[in-house]
Structure 1
Amino acid sequence: MSTENTAYLRKPDELLVDLYASAAQPGRWTQSMDRLCGITGAQSAVVQAFRFEQGRAQVFWLAQDSRTRVTTSVQSPELASGDNPRMDLRRALRGLDRVAGDDELFDPEDEARPRLQQRLATLGLGRFLGTLQDVGRGVYLGLALHRSVDDATNFGDEHIRRLADIAPHLGQAFLLTDQLQVSVQRDERLCRLMDSLCFGIVLCTGDGRVQWANQQASAMLERDAALSLRGDHLYGRSAAETQTLLAALSVACQAGQQRVGYLRLGEADQVLHVAIRPGDDPSSLMLVISRAAQPLDLPALALESLFGLTPTEARLLGAIATGSTVEEYAQMRGVSVGTARVQLKQIQAKTGQRRQADLVRLVLSSAAAHLVAPGHRRAG
């Protein structure tokens, strides 16, 4: 093999490696700023994302080197906010898309400059060099480097060129961080919402490896349950039930999204009902799990809101929907059967359902039957 056209890989730029790794590992932002201090001889390195509102910067994200995190941000937090005169709209935009120092940002007679420098000096910070870029959607990203107050040397041309080279990567790394953070927060919100459902949800592969489960499912998948989680895999109570489960998962994977499979596991009051729904990925499945013997928990307030009932009527409807007769409800509440029947007629008039079977169907198909409302007043 000829080596005439061989090219050797260059050693990676460690600062760029840190920056792009910061999206998934936020702690690497501090490491990046520490490395930038080492490269430029700066005492402090801070990067901030902000929007301008009425001419003032509103900071919503920042990263600092390790020294600044434990000193400047504690002793003088206003320097990391819109109170910093460099972040005034008029001054800040003078540094847009360039590497700039205070000479470029402040007018010669601007009294805010000496006041700022005096405040910075008390924190041990001296000469400044920074960048500002528009990263879209009204968001600006600023980088500020400061030398030690005892260091009288200016940042050199090599430092200016380094900042000019690194700025686009800094902007891209921030956008990746922001996008990933938004995605993580969205996933966390979805998980919390899934935990409010009355039934269990499990995401798994075709061989029963669990990728995620909501709280209801985790509570059901106990070691002695009809379906349990051991390690990261699902098992039936017996080897035979495990094989039945795996066979159902395999069939669902092959059937595609148009088919939902159903499975019953366990005996007596331990029975679990499982619905199996293939996902977009052929090897990904969603299991919806419910306990056959689990009592239905209907929030009275939900029935009041959905069907325009009074609290008393909601309690009666909740009792009927969960299996009680009018007579049993009357005895439980200490009222006459006649009074309970009058309330039932009022419920039927309001819902338009004349038969009790239709009332039960109406309630069980409503939103009241599917969400867990913490601290709710139970119907029935």
Structure 2
Amino acid sequence: MSAAAQLQAGSGEIKIQTMCGALDTIGVALLLVDRAARVRSCNDVARRLIDGGLLRLQAERLLGPVRADTARLHGAIEAVTRSPNEPPRTVMLEGLDGAAGRSASIAPACCPEGEPMALVALTAPSTTIAPDRLRQAFGLTAAETRLLSALVTGERLAEYAERTGVKRSTAKTHLRGLFNKVGESRQADLIRRVMDDAILRSPWDCAAAA
């Protein structure tokens, strides 16, 4: 490899490392993999998922939490590495974070050596979101914020109503308000929309930083 090519390769690696480090701060796991799903680089969030067993490595190959997840991941990686013009793919990881599930985004990546690569990005599992962030993000009332906070931690509508002493009809009214403000029409989609928002789940107080 020429000196110029080495410099270009080194610059590309620095950019990848910088991007991986930046995504650490908003709770996004990022892995750079080759066509065979071998991990070439990953950020700290991805490393924690691997260390915790939520993502697996076998002979450096990225595996999903369960066999079906692995098949979907590998299929998407193979698809996006066929050409740099391939559109990104999104796959559900059913074995990640229990029944709630998580999605992974897989996109083609450019490599200085011309080797087909893919970027795999997913949010780290968490069910803790500051109520103030929910309220500010969607313009919620205090009652809507309390309900949404309960739903994203896995509490059912009926359980929430019983625990708080709110009439079930009132809780349903608050839920309709959440649908209108968040832009979803089903409770499962509402929860997924919130939990897949990396900014809401960031460890940093974005509002204070602004």
Give TM class, smaller chain: 0.5 to 0.7
2:119 to 286, 291, 301: 286
**Percent identity of paired positions between Structure 1 and Structure 2:** 17
**Aligned AA for 2:108?**
P
Of 58, 79, 85 in structure 2, the residue corresponding to residue 251 of structure 1 is 79
Q: How does 1:126-275 map to 2 (within 5 A)?
A: 188=18, 190-222=19-51, 225=54, 227-229=55-57, 233-236=60-63, 244=71, 248-261=76-89, 269=98, 274-275=104-105
- Could you tell me how far 1:328 is from its partner in structure 2? 0.8
User: Is the CA contact 2:179–2:185 (under 8 Å) kept in the aligned structure 1?
Assistant: no
Shift of the alpha carbon at 1:285?
0.7
Amino acid at match of 2:116: S
- TM-score under structure 1 length normalisation: 0.37
Unpaired runs of 5+ residues, structure 1, are 1-23, 25-179
Task: Supply the distance in 2 between the matched residues of 1:361 and 1:272 (Cα, whole angstroms).
Answer: 12
Indicate the SS of the match to 2:85: coil
2:106 alignment partner, one of 269, 273, 276: 276
Query: Over alpha carbons, which structure has the higher Rg?
Result: 1
Residues paired across the two proteins, number: 186
Q: Does 1:298 align with 2:129?
A: yes
Question: Could you tell me which amino acid in structure 2 is paired with residue 254 of structure 1?
Answer: R
With structure 2 as the length reference, what TM-score do the two structures score? 0.59
Match of 1:14 in 2: none
* CA apart distance, 1:350: 7.7
**What SS does the corresponding residue of 1:254 show, helix, strand or coil?**
coil
State the Cα distance separating 1:289 from its structure 2 match: 3.7
Residue 317 of structure 1 corresponds to 148
Name the CA shift for 1:197/1:230 in 2 (closer, same or farther; >3 Å).
Answer: farther
8 Å Cα contact 1:304/1:310 also seen in 2: yes
SS of the residue 1:201 aligns to: strand
- Residues 1:354 and 1:206: Cα distance change in structure 2 (over 3 Å): closer
The answer to whether the 8 A contact 1:204-1:286 is kept is: yes
Say what the alpha-carbon RMSD is for the aligned residues. Answer: 4.7
Tell me if structure 2 keeps the 8 A contact 1:277–1:285: yes
Q: Which has the higher contact order (CA 8 A, sep 6+)?
A: 2
Contact 1:303 1:368 in 2 (8 A): no
Structure 1 counterpart of 2:162, from 328, 331, 337: 331
Q: Distance in 1 between matches of 2:153 and 2:86?
A: 32
Q: Is the 8 A contact 1:204 1:210 kept in 2?
A: yes
Q: Which runs of 5+ in 2 are unaligned?
A: 1-6, 206-210
